[in-house]
Chains A and B, each alone.
Chain A
Amino acid sequence: MEWDLLSQLVLNGMIVGALYGVVAMSFVLIYKASQVVNFAQGEFLLVGAWVCWWLLARWGLPFWAGFLLTLGFMTIFGVLLQVIVLRPLIGEPVISVIMATVGLSIFFQALMKWMFGVFAQPFPPIFRTERVNVLGLQVQSAYLLSLAISLVVMAAFGWFFTASKHGLAMRATAFDQQVAQSLGISVPRVFAMSWTISAVVSAVAGVTVGVVNGVSSGLSFYGIKVFPAVILGGLDSILGAVLGGLIVGVLENLAQYVDAQFLGWGNMFQIAPFYALILILMLRPYGLFGTQSIERV
């Protein structure tokens, strides 16, 4: 067994996994705040990345301006989605809400294909990419940058939820809506805020992936890969989401290695997380850190 290759795979897995972690975190944010399972999470990445690409490639804006404009756009986008589509569905059964996000997902996927085509588009070169040597492993600098961005976002999340007023309001709402309301927290505003933050953070992840790998409709698959990550970590745990994302990232790469070496099935890279998902659901549906909901009769 080549240890070099293996540790390289683990490192690659961690880098991708950190991005999964960021997306999973923004997924859990929506779930915790408003009990909505968002199947359109991947489309947030997609929309954000395409908008940023459009501003940079078509309008020739410098990266920082395009990036900030994208974040501004995603803020409005998130609020509008929540207010127009999700707010009328408050109080409807879970099925309806899930289906609405599924509808949003295919709508925006198709819209993006219609507007920007089906082919992957590279971002205009922003940073010089070169190979960096980390502990004897070869890593592209762009990947390191994406890892750094993931870590920054995670740290920002941590600060937001433990120290800021709005973050605390959100946690209170997630804990008990009625009590939060009686304490003067505007629950509708918290819902809208959770969608906004989730959209913005996902867009950051989307732009990061776009800068590294180019923008394509494949980005929306991140929204699907989120499910193994969040189930592994526990649906309502932000820490779990981060860990779940990392584990899924590593698992993917290792599964691909095992597949290439021993099984020869092909495609394990994509499918392995879903086998893991079924196993977790059977053995420990609340994941590593999720709340064990016990119902007594």
Chain B
Amino acid sequence: MSGVLNPRPAESDVLALAEDWVSQGRSVALATVIETWGSAPRPVGSHLIVDANGRFEGSVSGGCVEGAVVQEAIDVIGVGAPRMLDFGVADETAWRVGLSCGGRIRIYVEKVG
């Protein structure tokens, strides 16, 4: 007999993992998609977690801006204060990090703990 519940990778797993990481003594930042405009690959409420060494799990853009978010998250872990990030075609940074889908996203990054 197979398990009663099918395995479903979900946002909850990322949040559970964030707690695990903290309990292992790692410093963790949580990035959350706050708003999207136009075509954006991940819905509002999607999470990415990052540790001080830049290891990450989850996704806020399906890969387009994760690299930049991870850098900012490492900063947030050091500084402590949360930060709002905007990526989009109107923003030069977006070209650089490559939000090729043409959408815009706003991401909130906060330290956990």
Is the A/B pair a real complex? no
